[in-house]
Structure formats: C-alpha cells, structure tokens
Amino acid sequence: MQTILDATSADQVVIVADHLRKNFPGPVVALDDCSLQVRRGEVMVVIGPSGSGKSTLLRCLNGLETVDSGRIVIDTVPLDDQETHRLAIRRRVGMVFQSFNLFPHLTVEGNINLAQRLVRGRSRTAALATTVSLLDKVGLADALHRYPDELSGGQQQRVAIARALAMHPKVMLFDEATSALDPEMIGEVLDVMRTLAAEGMTMVVVTHEMGFAREVGDRVVFMEQGRIVEQAATDDFFQRPAKERTRAFLGLVV
Amino acid sequence: MSTSRRVSIIRDLVLYVLTCIGLVWLVLRGAEQLGYQWHWRQVAHHLIVMGDGSLTAGPLIRGLLVTMEITLVSLVLAGGIGLTVALLRLSSSRLGRCAARVYLESIRNTPLLVQIFFFYFVVAPLFDIGRTTTAILALSLFEGAYVSEIIRAGIISIGRGQWEACYSLGLSRTQSYRAVILPQALRRILPPLTSQAVSLIKDSALVSTIAVYDVTMAGRTIVADTFLVFEVWFVVAALYLTLTLSLSALASRLERRFPRVA
C-alpha cells in the first residue's frame, strides 16, 4: 500500500505516519501497524465502524495520544519525546473536535484571539483583525461578542474551525466534526470544510458523512479494528473497492 | 405577588421572630439561673474609649483590627500555598507530588492548636520570628492544605476537552492553566473557598493562645478584669459575625460578576 516517493514529491508530503502501533489496556488493539501519507493540499477522509481506531489515529497525529511504536513526521518535524517538537507540531496542526471544546468563559473573540496572542505573540489589534476576517469566512461576523453557550451547535463548531484556522495551520484535523450536531446544522459546517478544501488546505477528516467523503475527499482510508483495511483514491474506493470488508461496509452505509 | 406566596412569607417571618424570641429567652433564663447581673452599658467603653472629647478605639476594636490583619494576610498566603500545592499534586514530577502529599496529610491530620504551639515553641525561636508572624505562618499553612484540595477538585472538574483544545492550539501547560483551566475552576470553587475563608476567620481565634492580641484575646482580658462574661463574649461573637458576613456578601457579589462556565 505504501508508495515509494521520489525526492520531488517527498517535500510535498506533509504528514508521514509509519507503522503506528498503540495498545489500550485490554484486549482491543487501538492501532495495528497503520501507515499513511498525506500530501500538501490533499483531503484524506478516514472512515470505518465505531471503535475502529479512526479517532485514535487522528489524535496521534498531533500528539494528543502517544503511539507505542512507529514514526510520525509532520511538515518535516518529527513527533517524538522532545517538548519543542511537540509544541512545534501542535502549532502547525489545527484540530476540530466532535464536542467543539470552545472555552466557555470567553467570548467568541476571546476564544479565537487567545492562542494567537499567547502562542503567536500577535498584538491585540492584529489578532482581532484575523479573528474578524475568519468569522466572516465561516459566516458568523455578528457573533464576535457572544459567548459559546449563546450559539447553536453548528455555530459553535464554525467558531471552533475559525479558532483553529487563526493559527494558520499547515494541516487541519477534523475528528467527527459533525457527529454531535443536529441534522439541520451539519450542512453549514460541511460547507465551511468544503470551502477550506477548495482553497487547498491539507485536511484529514474522520467522518461518517459518506456523501462528503465522496465529494470532497481526494483519498479515502477505511479502518477496522485498528487496522487500515484499504486506502485508495476516492473514485476507486467507492466504485471499485478491492477488499471484501470494504464492500461489506459500503453496502451497509451507502 | 400571589396570595399564597405572601402567606408563606408572613409565615416565615413569624417563625423567624418566634425563634429569635425563643433564643433570647433561653439566654436570659440561663443568666437568671446563674444569678447573672447584666451590665451592657459597661461594655461600650471597651469598644470605644471616650476621653478629652475625642474618640479612640477600645481594646475590642484594636483586637478586631489585629484579627483582620492576621486573617487577611493568612488568606492571601493560604491561597498561594493552596494553588502551589494543588499544581504540585497534579504535576508530572514524582518528587513534587510526594512532597505535596506529605504536607497535606501532616497538616490535615493534626490539630491546629498543636500546630500553633509547634510553630510558637519550636520554629519561632529557631528563626527568631515574632508572635504575629508565627500566628500568620501557622494559620496559612493550616488553611492552605484545605484550600489546595478545593483548588485541586476545581481543576479536575474541568473536562479533558478543554485541555485538548489548549494543546491542539499550541498552548503550553502553564498557558493552559492560566488562561483556560484556572479561570473556569475558580468560578466553580468560589463557594467552598468562601467557606474556607470563613473558617480561617474563626480559626484565627486560636492564636490568642500564643498571646497574640486579637479580638478573642482582648475579650479574655476584659472578662478577667471585669467579669462581664456574657456581655463581652456576645460582643466578640457579634464582631466575628460582622467579619464573616461581610466576607460572604463580598464573595456572592464576586460570584455574580464572574465570567460564565458551562
């Protein structure tokens, strides 16, 4: 499955994950020899049944969880024990969570400004300018002074996306970003993600939205029981799945 | 206002007044049984001394000021100690966790009075520190242990998602604590922290045992001189009540002004 890259394409690879293994206490293997590469501007969609390790894989990519063995390199920075590398990677990788995780004690402005000021050291005015333009982009220009609990789920998730984007990440990770939303709000969040993909953002998207995967994904990874069963270009994956398990899964969900 | 609501308020008021009357009656009866003579007028000049046409603070008021000074300084120190110990207990350093645990358990499991004596008779001569400083030291170390547990509980109560959001934005652990975790935790722990501060005010009465001239000590001295037992202790109790109630009022005002937490 793993492609051998020549020198020119190597610098286009933003995410390298090599033979990742992780065990949780108990009989279930969290990650079993997972390898993947994501190129600049690519949208990789990770699908699979619940408990298949999709989220764990994603969370390992920015060091929220540690792997037992294997190698992760993000934008030429290796993710290892060094705190500086860990921080450097987190500054390059934005993450959007299923449960939004906005800071409830801060306004939308405070939420988006915070890391810009603390991590990027931007001035208040510079941070605010970025915040305002990003809110405009996710369609929430009027929410600047609202608190998270005054917003709907879909609005909160769009603020969370803006908050991640404010750090100018090289990669965006989406961990089931629409799974906690009411059906009528899924669309507005997927629209924002679609726009990002069109602008060339490198994205890894864990999702149950097959329509979105088909439409936006460049490549699809199918996982089951901690293993990557199949990964392929989107058209191939949906029209000519190679593995029996993939066909069975697609038969169930599509 | 509906009629039933008005009726219930009147009923509560009546009950309240009846309870107060009952309590006063009990006290008066008790005093009567003892053959106690009330001399309320003599208490006044222990509060305020009138002489040469000017008013100066009497021993009780001076004692109250000492109590306020000791509790205020101890409150600030206990807060600092509590935060440090809580962060140590949650840190990744084994030594830090261990030290914090030893401190907590040894303070929490011995009587405050013994600790005050220990500081007064053992530590104070060793480092040549004064009585008031000794009192402040003992009190803040004692209350700090309880405060640390309150703060730790507050920090733990903040969901993992908040930490993950901080980390994924590139915030360091210190930055996450300062900007995200502690502000939310503080809002949640304000009620138990207030109780602890009230406890501190009351516990400070024990420093009179090492001859710090606080309001309790002033009361003891006056009682010894004048035998106005009931009057003086009631006044002392009222002075403590004034302190603790003002503190509680301040805390609830603060609580309302605080930023929200989910």
- What are the counts of helices (DSSP H) followed by strands (DSSP E) for chain B? 12, 2
pLDDT over 70 at A6, yes or no:
no
CA distance B166 to chain A (A): 8
pLDDT over 60 at A3, yes or no:
no
What pLDDT shows up at residue B260? 59
CA distance B241 to chain A (A): 34
CA nearest to B163 within chain A? A101
CA distance B152 to chain A (A): 19
Chain A with chain B: Cβ pairs closer than 8 A: 66
Contact A95/B at CB under 8 A? yes
Instruction: Tell me whether residues B167 and A147 touch, CB distance under 8 A.
Output: no
What pLDDT shows up at residue A4? 45
Task: With beta carbons under 8 A apart, name residues in chain B contacting A93.
Answer: 168
Return the CATH fold of B56-257. MetI-like fold (1.10.3720)
Question: In this complex, which of B170, B179, B261 lies closest to A90 when CB atoms are compared?
Answer: B170
Instruction: Tell me whether residues A148 and B167 touch, CB distance under 8 A.
Output: no
Element (H, E) at B192: helix B182-203
* Residue range A27-69, pLDDT digits in tens: 777 899 999 999 999 999 999 988 889 999 999 999 999 999 9
Residue B22 burial (C-beta neighbours within 10 Å; 0-12, 13-18, 19+): exposed
Instruction: Tell me whether residues B171 and A62 touch, CB distance under 8 A.
Output: no
Per residue, the 3-state secondary structure of chain A, as one string, reads CCCCCCHHHHCCEEEEEEEEEEECCCCCEEEEEEEEEEECCCEEEEECCCCCCHHHHHHHHCCCCCCCEEEEEECCEECCCCHHHHHHHHHHEEEECCCCCCCCCCCHHHHHHHHHHHCCCCCHHHHHHHHHHHHHHCCCHHHCCCCHHHCCHHHHHHHHHHHHHCCCCCEEEEECCCCCCCHHHHHHHHHHHHHHHHCCCEEEEECCCHHHHHHHCCEEEEEECCEEEEEEEHHHHHHCCCCHHHHHHHHHHC
Best residue in A105, A106, A151, A204 for a mutation probing chain B (most B CBs within 10 Å): A105
pLDDT over 80 at A254, yes or no:
no
Tokens for B5?
Answer: 């609501």
Rounded CA gap, A131 and A125, in Å? Answer: 10
Task: Give the residue from A48, A229, A113, A197 showing the smallest Cα distance to B180.
Answer: A113
Rounded CA gap, A244 and A123, in Å? Answer: 55
Distance (Å) of CA B142 to CA A77, B116, B217: 48, 9, 20
Q: B91-109 burial string, b = 16+ CB within 10 Å, else e?
A: eeeeebeeebeebbeebee
Question: In this complex, which of A97, A105, A167 lies closest to B161 when CB atoms are compared?
Answer: A97
SS3 state at B48: strand
Q: Which amino acid is at B84?
A: T
CA nearest to A114 within chain B? B179
CA nearest to A117 within chain B? B171
Task: Give the residue from B102, B83, B117, B256 showing the smallest Cα distance to B185.
Answer: B83
* Residue range A107-157, pLDDT digits in tens: 999 999 999 999 999 999 999 999 999 999 999 999 999 999 999 999 999
* Residue range B84-97, pLDDT digits in tens: 999 999 999 999 99
CA distance B97 to chain A (A): 21
Rounded CA gap, B198 and A157, in Å? Answer: 42
What pLDDT shows up at residue B40? 83
Q: Which residues of chain B have pLDDT under 70?
A: 1, 259-262
Q: Which amino acid is at B120?
A: Y
CA distance B148 to chain A (A): 23
Contact A24/B at CB under 8 A? no
CA distance A36 to chain B (A): 21
Q: B-side interface with A, Cβ within 8 Å?
A: 161-162, 164-165, 167-172, 175, 179-180, 183-184, 187, 259-262
What pLDDT shows up at residue B41? 81
What pLDDT shows up at residue B196? 94
Instruction: Tell me whether residues B161 and A62 touch, CB distance under 8 A.
Output: no
Task: With beta carbons under 8 A apart, name residues in chain B contacting A106.
Answer: 259
CA nearest to A115 within chain B? B169
Instruction: Tell me whether residues B168 and A149 touch, CB distance under 8 A.
Output: no
Tokens for A232?
Answer: 């392929």
Cα dihedral A194/A197/A202/A203 (nearest 10): 20
Task: With beta carbons under 8 A apart, name residues in chain A contacting B172.
Answer: 87
What number is the average pLDDT over the span A210-225?
Answer: 93
CA nearest to B178 within chain A? A118
What pLDDT shows up at residue A8? 44
Task: With beta carbons under 8 A apart, name residues in chain A contacting B180.
Answer: 103, 105, 114
> A13 pLDDT band (50/70/90 cuts)?
very high
CA B175 to chain centre: 31
* Residue range A183-209, pLDDT digits in tens: 899 999 999 999 999 999 999 999 998
CA distance B164 to chain A (A): 7
Q: What is the DSSP string of B67-97?
A: HHHHHHHHHHHHHHHHHHHHHHHTSS-HHHH
Instruction: Tell me whether residues B179 and A62 touch, CB distance under 8 A.
Output: no
Instruction: Find out whether A183 and A67 touch, Cβ atoms under 8 Å.
Output: no
Higher pLDDT pick, A221 / B3: A221
What pLDDT shows up at residue B261? 53
Tokens for B82?
Answer: 């509590």
Contact A174/B at CB under 8 A? no
Instruction: Tell me whether residues A105 and B259 touch, CB distance under 8 A.
Output: yes
